[in-house]
Amino acid sequence: MMKNCNNLILAVLVFVYMLLLSSVCIAQPEENDTIYIDTEKDVQNNFENKTLRKNSIYFELFGNGGAYSIGYDRMFWEENNFKLSIASGITFYNDYFIVSPQSNLLIGKKNHFELGLGYSFPFLHLNGRNISVIDHVLFFRIGYRYQRENSGVLFRIGFTPFIGGRYIEPLIMPWGGITIGWTF
């Protein structure tokens, strides 16, 4: 009975996450890869524009991928001090790998408060040519993120608790991670 209730809760959370993620999929394409931001300083300097670099690559120790992950993050919306991004990381362990897509809300200009929600497909077993999903994990992110608007170093540290599937014990596991990367 308790296991069915846990599976139902996990299914509802995954449905809500996929529903939120689908809104990204129907967005109209942009003409270029740069979001232009007019700031007060720009207005004072003859309306010169700053650019927000939207792409980041990173290495995360612990965090969403367990022991480590290598990932890509893309900013797709920005207004005032709010930004939305989608990201995905991948982790390899012997003949297993983990894929962990996520979406994040950033609040701030250079020093951000970060909130995120993700779904890991851990333990995808590479058995010859067959790939099988062994388990599913939902995770959250609450943390600090340093990312300049116009490129450079990306640094973040956060609390990333997991809500595990059938092989992760306990069902809710506190976790954290630290990330270093580059924005371009």
Question: Residue 183's domain is classified under what CATH number?
Answer: 2.40.160
Structural domain boundaries enclosing 64: 57-184
Band of pLDDT at residue 39, cut at 50, 70 and 90: low
User: Looking at the domain assignment, is residue 34 inside a domain?
Assistant: no
In the chain, the N- to C-terminal Cα span, in Å, equals 49
Is-contact 137 164, C-beta < 8 A?
Answer: yes
* Structure confidence by residue, pLDDT tens digits, 68-121: 999 999 999 999 999 999 999 999 877 778 889 999 999 998 899 999 999 987
Q: Is residue 14 part of a domain?
A: no
Q: Residue 34 pairs with which residues in a beta bridge?
A: 53
pTM: predicted TM-score of the whole model, two decimal places: 0.69
- Interatomic CA distance for residues 140 and 122, integer angstroms: 15
Nearest-5° Cα angle at 90, 3 to 139: 35
94: in domain: yes
